[in-house]
Structure 1
Amino acid sequence: MAPWSERALRVALSIVLLCVPMQAGAGNLSILLCNNVNVDLFDCVDLVNLYNATDGDNWVNHTNWGSNDVDSWYGVIVDPLSGRVIALDLALNGLDGEFPPSWIGLQALQFLQLSSNALRGELPEYIGDLQSLTFLQVGFNILEGPLPDSLGNLTLLENLFLGGNQFSGPLPAGIGNLLQLEVLDVFSDSFDAGGRLTGPLPDLSGLTRLRRIGLDANRLEGPFPTYLDQMPMLEELRLRGNRLSGPLPANVGSLGQLRVLDLAGNQLIGAMPSTLGNLGALEELDLSFNDFTSTLPSALGDLAQLRVLRIAGNPLEARPQVTGPIPAALANLNQLEELNLEFNRLSGALPECLGDLGNLSVLSLQANDLVGPVPEAFTALGLNTLYLGLNFLDADQDDRLILSPTLQTWFNGIPNTVDIIAGLGFLDSLDQRPVVGDPDVVFASGFEGLPSNSCTGA
């Protein structure tokens, strides 16, 4: 039998509506009201079904839902010329339930915002039939299961935000067809490995308009993409907590608009490319918990806008670590607020010029192979968090290691710091990194009782 035409469906639905008893279910809207509204019949039925499926009577705001003027329903925008619903914004509105089993209307919908509710179940396959969509956000719900392949049909889509759910399976290859896409966000909100995307990262090389990629905390694997130089507008690249492998390609340095590069917690290997220094707009760089084996590129000192630099090693696994001295060029990072290079094999003395980082508030260099005194220039830093333990530093400088009033305030909470650091004393890999000095000095006060510590005094 041939499929019904839209006209035949409309006629059939109209007959059904005439036969429906004039009474809604408890706490629901009746689709009978769609006989007398000022919008497309199918659009009205879909809205009523969504209301009933997600406990509409208990939404935070359901103003005017059920009236004849659909354009006055909270969150609904109707095109006055066509009578079609073109926007639906019900974010943070207490929707609780699953998507209706089908939508037969809403074909003119351009904007769909259902984030931060309690939508459950799977994202339905029919979402790909809404081919007028330019904006689709259903983030921060309780959605799960595979992402529908039909997402690849939304060729006008500019913003796709599905993050904060528990989707599983692969990222559909069809997303690579969304050539207008500017935002792609499908980070996981699951503590269960079963609620995360898996498999290789699909080919996104055609998405040259992308400004944000957010695929954090999934289980995506395979080599790190080499086509990033084809995304000149990219501002945020967040791939933290996946299983991407191989080297970090040099062409990452071509992303002149990039503000955030977060690749922590992957399996990247080899040398960090010196081309990172070309990222003149970069404000946050996190390459922690990978398998880099190189020294720190001096070119990092060229990142004039950088506020956060994290390249920490992994204290819980015997994995490769960054080696060599701390580049003096890092002292050029005048905007830097956080510097975290802990749990590596950095060696040599602490560069005195780091004391010139006037905006620095967090400095963590613990668990390296640093030697010598703490530079006197550090006394000028306005730090509120400082970790220098588990090195080979000489901390016998009582009179000048009280670095600032803010740091003194932080050390009033020293028991928390003791808990954090003392727990690391059980790691065999740290046993040969003594703490030298008087335990009354602030740098050593958290380390009494650790293996291989050379603290003296009462």
Structure 2
Amino acid sequence: ELTGEIPASFSQLRQLTLLHLFRNHLHGGIPPFVADLPNLEVLQVWENNFTLELPERLGSNGRLMKLDAATNRLTGLIPNSLCRGGRLETLILMDNSLFGPIPEELGACKSLIRVRVARNFLNGTIPAGLFDLPSADMLELSDNFFSGELPPRIAGRSLGTLVLSNNQITGGIPPSVGDLAGLQKLLMESNMLSGEIPAQIGRLKNLSNLNLSGNGIGGPIPAELAGCTSLGSIDLSRNNLTGEIPVEITHLQNLNTLNLSWNQLVGGIPQQVERMHSLTLFDLSYNNLSGKIPMGGQLFVFNESSYAGNPGLCGRPLRLAPCSPSNSGPSVCTTTPSQPLTPSKVLLTVGILAAAAIASVAAVVAARSCWSRGNYPNRWRMTAFQRLDFTVDDVVECLREDNV
């Protein structure tokens, strides 16, 4: 719960190697003398109220290994001297108001393991070297204003998280992303990416979260995605994807989120989707899909919103679009819901309901008579009934003048 500013007397701590001031209420600027501490290796000042710029010469002592200044009110540029000694491993500056580009010198800092600069106002092209760090396990650059294209080479067998969401990155997704053997999260949503989804992504056996939504990606959904056997979430919504939903994607038994909405997909929904018992979010809305909606397995829990905006679809979730033989094969009803009720239909329906009521009353009277005479049945008998796939409304819809 410390308050105030960093004391000027700290400048005398010439042997200081670690300065931990995180989670306090300190304010003001980080004094320039901090950059001149000759032995400083670790500077952690996250979750304070520091303002102004980072010391311009920070890291020039050649010993800095870890800098964490997240969640402050820092502005200005990222110093280009942070990795002057080639020892910097951790750079965490997220949740500030930093602006300008990432220095090219950081792209050449091969010692970096973790880079997190999300939620700032950084811009320019991301240095290509950041995508080729031999020891990096996390690269989080989301919620900035980065632009330009991704480099053709993206490497790093230790990289587990690559987050570039909510920027202005253009161009295609490099096929070399399939070389990131340890990648678990690939998040590139809300950019300006184009081209097609590279089939090489299917080589990522450890990938659990794939989000490419909100871009301009076209072409088909690659069937090779079925090779990402650890996938739990796929979001490809709000793109320009075409073609049919590949049946291979139904082999992903761990998938709990599948969002393909707002694309230009055609064809039917693969029947095998019924076998995906882990699905908790399923959205195919606003495409050009057609045919009958499968209703088996986990699909039973999804309502009309999962299929809205597909005029060619029919089936139970879409109450106003019953299936007909022409678009789905055998079905309960072949008429449209707009057909008005005629007096004969009303009379027949009332007659059916009245007969059912009389039968129910007779059954109750007979049962009470049996019990009152002491004629208890020797045992219960269970009769199984299979639920029919139509409702009373469907019966009424199917009534025609020629069968009343």
- TM-score in same-fold range (> 0.5): yes
2:90 corresponding residue in structure 1: 183
Q: Are 1:293 and 2:169 an aligned pair? A: no
Letter in 1 for 2:14: Q
Q: Provide the C-alpha distance between the structure 2 equivalents of 1:310 and 1:177, rounded to a whole number of angstroms.
A: 35
Q: Provide the C-alpha distance between the structure 2 equivalents of 1:166 and 1:133, rounded to a whole number of angstroms.
A: 23
Structure 1: any 5+ residue segments left out of the alignment? 1-93, 190-195, 315-320, 426-432, 446-454
2:26 corresponding residue in structure 1: 119
Match of 2:158 among 239, 254, 257: 257
Letter in 1 for 2:247: E
Map 1:183-262 to 2 at 5 A.
Answer: 183-189=90-96, 196-203=97-104, 204-228=106-130, 231-252=133-154, 254-262=155-163
CA offsets, 1:48-68, max 9 Å, x none?
Answer: xxxxxxxxxxxxxxxxxxxxx
CA offsets, 1:393-441, max 9 Å, x none?
Answer: 236336337427xxx3xx6xx8xx97xx99xx9xxxxxxx545445851
Map 1:413-452 to 2 at 5 A.
Answer: 434-437=310-313, 441=317
User: 3-state DSSP class of the match of 2:124?
Assistant: strand
Contact 1:396–1:441 (CA<8 Å) still a contact in 2? no
2:181 corresponding residue in structure 1: 280
2:56 corresponding residue in structure 1: 149
Contact 1:437–1:444 (CA<8 Å) still a contact in 2? no
Letter in 1 for 2:82: I
TM-score by structure 2 length?
0.73
Letter in 2 for 1:267: Q
Letter in 2 for 1:288: E
Contact 1:228–1:251 (CA<8 Å) still a contact in 2? no
Deviation at 1:377, TM superposition (A): 1.5
Contact 2:11–2:34 (CA<8 Å) still a contact in 1? no
Cα separation, partners in 2 of 1:371 and 1:160, compared to 1, 3 Å: same
2:240 corresponding residue in structure 1: 345
Q: Provide the C-alpha distance between the structure 2 equivalents of 1:157 and 1:397, rounded to a whole number of angstroms.
A: 59
Deviation at 1:383, TM superposition (A): 0.9
2:265 corresponding residue in structure 1: 370
User: 3-state DSSP class of the match of 2:243?
Assistant: strand
Contact 1:374–1:393 (CA<8 Å) still a contact in 2? yes
Cα separation, partners in 2 of 1:374 and 1:105, compared to 1, 3 Å: same
Map 1:39-78 to 2 at 5 A.
Answer: none
TM-score by structure 1 length?
0.65
Contact 1:176–1:205 (CA<8 Å) still a contact in 2? no
Letter in 2 for 1:182: E
Cα separation, partners in 2 of 1:230 and 1:434, compared to 1, 3 Å: closer
Structure 2: any 5+ residue segments left out of the alignment? 322-335, 339-392, 394-404
Contact 1:239–1:263 (CA<8 Å) still a contact in 2? yes
User: 3-state DSSP class of the match of 2:282?
Assistant: strand
1:167 corresponding residue in structure 2: 74
Letter in 2 for 1:393: L
Q: Provide the C-alpha distance between the structure 1 equivalents of 2:259 and 2:12, rounded to a whole number of angstroms.
A: 56
User: 3-state DSSP class of the match of 2:127?
Assistant: coil
Q: Provide the C-alpha distance between the structure 1 equivalents of 2:23 and 2:223, rounded to a whole number of angstroms.
A: 45
Match of 2:231 among 322, 329, 336: 336
Q: What is the RMSD computed on CA atoms of the aligned residues? A: 2.8
1:26 corresponding residue in structure 2: none
Match of 2:10 among 103, 113, 116: 103
Q: Provide the C-alpha distance between the structure 1 equivalents of 2:20 and 2:320, rounded to a whole number of angstroms.
A: 52
Q: In terms of mean alpha carbon deviation, does 290-299 or 386-395 score higher?
A: 386-395
Tell me the percent identity. 31
Cα separation, partners in 2 of 1:296 and 1:123, compared to 1, 3 Å: same
1:53 corresponding residue in structure 2: none
Deviation at 1:239, TM superposition (A): 0.9
Letter in 2 for 1:111: L
Deviation at 1:349, TM superposition (A): 0.9
Q: Provide the C-alpha distance between the structure 1 equivalents of 2:43 and 2:315, rounded to a whole number of angstroms.
A: 57
1:400 corresponding residue in structure 2: 296
Q: Provide the C-alpha distance between the structure 2 equivalents of 1:329 and 1:444, rounded to a whole number of angstroms.
A: 36
2:360 corresponding residue in structure 1: none
Contact 1:188–1:217 (CA<8 Å) still a contact in 2? yes
Q: Provide the C-alpha distance between the structure 1 equivalents of 2:51 and 2:109, rounded to a whole number of angstroms.
A: 26
Deviation at 1:218, TM superposition (A): 1.5
User: 3-state DSSP class of the match of 2:225?
Assistant: helix
Letter in 1 for 2:286: L
Q: Provide the C-alpha distance between the structure 2 equivalents of 1:123 and 1:175, rounded to a whole number of angstroms.
A: 15
Post-superposition, which runs of at least 4 consecutive aligned residues in structure 1 deviate over 3 A? 433-440, 442-445, 455-458
Cα separation, partners in 2 of 1:355 and 1:444, compared to 1, 3 Å: farther
Q: Are 1:358 and 2:260 an aligned pair? A: no
Cα separation, partners in 2 of 1:386 and 1:154, compared to 1, 3 Å: farther
CA offsets, 1:294-315, max 9 Å, x none?
Answer: 011000101111111111115x
CA offsets, 1:234-286, max 9 Å, x none?
Answer: 1111111222222211121x222211111112222222111111111111111
